[in-house]
Chains A and B, each alone.
Chain A
Amino acid sequence: MSRSDVLVDADWVEAHIGQPGYVIVEVDEDTSAYDKGHIPSAIKVDWKKDLQDPVRRDFVDKAGFEALLSERGIAGDDTVILYGGNNNWFAAYAYWYFKLYGHQNVVLLDGGRKKWELDSRELSTDVPSRAKTSYTAAEQDASLRALRDEVIAAIGKRNLVDVRSPDEFAGRLLAPAHLPQEQAQRGGHIPTAKNVPWSKAANEDGTFRSDDELTTLYRDEAGVDFGKDTIAYCRIGERSAHTWFVLHEILGQPNVKNYDGSWTEYGSLVGVPIELGEGK
């Protein structure tokens, strides 16, 4: 993978509005944003209601993903164009999810909803109706997802990239600063993790920084060893899906996993090591 395979710009998206074989999908942190206006012809996926199991802490399973995409009218050979607010945070999470279940043709609108809005491009409140499909997903691709035991075993061996803010990394905050801080678990980070806040990968308008800037950020400044396998994590696995996208899809690093259990799981485990303080 490289940047040109996975990122498209707004002009390209405008040229593909309503084209057969292309489905534009908005996935937002603020799940009501779509209703206030979206890219014409776009449909909505709700990161929580649609993508997460309503009972267990896990994703919807393969059958659930198939039912979702069938109901939204997405076919296995459609090109899915994802976008969302906040530097494509949740759109990148959905991208990882589509790849996890084997959807081949997925791209992300560079800059997402923010750049589209700041450029004053057209937004529509019309909700399109799409004919249902009969979608077949692949089994989850285990090479993209890290579970807790694998993370513990990776301490000191693989790159661990903690993509939360420096205050969360150090243990001073337990959640991002636009959310309330009440949490049950301990603060801190997984020992040996490098702290590269996810948002450093994005420019102010939400577009991704250049390949050279990204390489400098992760390899040269943070000390991520590009010769080793990598696991990215955050608090609940969504910001780290954004970093997974940068390392795996834009920079083409071969073995990168997202630990979606992330700090809300790790910080609640009994007996695991925790490090406090600033990044080293």
Chain B
Amino acid sequence: MSTDQSGCGAPAGGVTITKDKASKEAVVEGRVLRDGQPVGTGYARLLGTGDEFVAEVPLGEDGGFRFFAAPGEWTLRVLAPGGVRAERSVSADIGQITNVEVAV
């Protein structure tokens, strides 16, 4: 994964983060699994209040995703081929990495 931050672009699975940077960010990250195996094709969406779309990343090969949110309550929605949808509520805070595992 890349740490390139000069554009809007993020690689599949989300931008890599180092420990010193994490102390200033409200990170929401995790993996999407089916029967314990990573789901490598699909999308993770971060939604705010009232289902307001905030961001989306394609899942990494390990089923991973990562967001740099503002502190607060969020909805995480996963889309995958075959009409697969799953949702989790998550809360984020500065200096905290919130890890979410989503089974589909």
Contact = CB atoms under 8 A, between A and B. Distances in A.
Given A30-B58, A85-B58, A165-B54, A180 B21 contact: yes
Contacts of B9: 29-31, 47-48, 90
B97 interface: no
Contacts of B6: 48
Interface in A105-161: 114, 117-120
Interface stretch (A3-11, A166-174, A222-230): A166-174
Interface string B4-28: 0111111110110100010011000
Contacts of B5: 175, 179-180, 182
Contacts of B43: 114, 118
Contact of B8 (A29, A33, A204): A29
B81 A179 contact: no
Nearest to B4: A48
A47 B58 CA distance: 17
B12 A178 contact: no
Contacts, number: 104
Given A117-B41, A118-B80, A166-B52, A179 B58 contact: no
B32 interface: no
A179 B6 CA distance: 10
A32 interface: yes
Contacts of A32: 11-12
Contacts of B10: 29-30, 178-179
B66 interface: yes
Contacts of A197: 52-53
A176 B55 contact: yes
A181 interface: yes
Interface stretch (A58-66, A210-218, A231-239): A231-239
Given A117-B81, A118-B79, A166-B52, A177 B46 contact: yes
A235 to B, nearest CB: 6
A86 B6 CA distance: 18
Nearest to A239: B8
A204 B53 CA distance: 9
B84 to A, nearest CB: 9
Nearest to A52: B7
Contacts of A255: none
Contacts of B8: 29, 89, 175-176, 179, 234-236, 238-239
Contacts of A180: 5, 15, 17, 21, 25, 68
A182 B52 contact: no
Given A29-B8, A31-B9, A86-B56, A177 B21 contact: no
Interface in B24-80: 24-25, 41-43, 45-46, 48, 52-58, 61, 66-70, 79-80
A32 B58 CA distance: 11
5 contacts: A32-B11, A165-B55, A167-B70, A177-B46, A179-B5
Given A117-B81, A177-B70, A200-B53, 16 more contacts: A30-B58, A36-B12, A47-B9, A48-B7, A86-B56, A117-B41, A167-B54, A167-B70, A172-B70, A176-B55, A178-B14, A178-B46, A179-B8, A179-B15, A182-B24, A204-B79
Interface of B: 5-12, 14-15, 17, 21, 24-25, 41-43, 45-46, 48, 52-58, 61, 66-70, 79-82
Q: Please provide the 6 A-B residue pairs with the shortest distance between their CB atoms, ordered closest to farther.
A: A178-B55, A177-B55, A199-B53, A29-B9, A120-B81, A30-B11
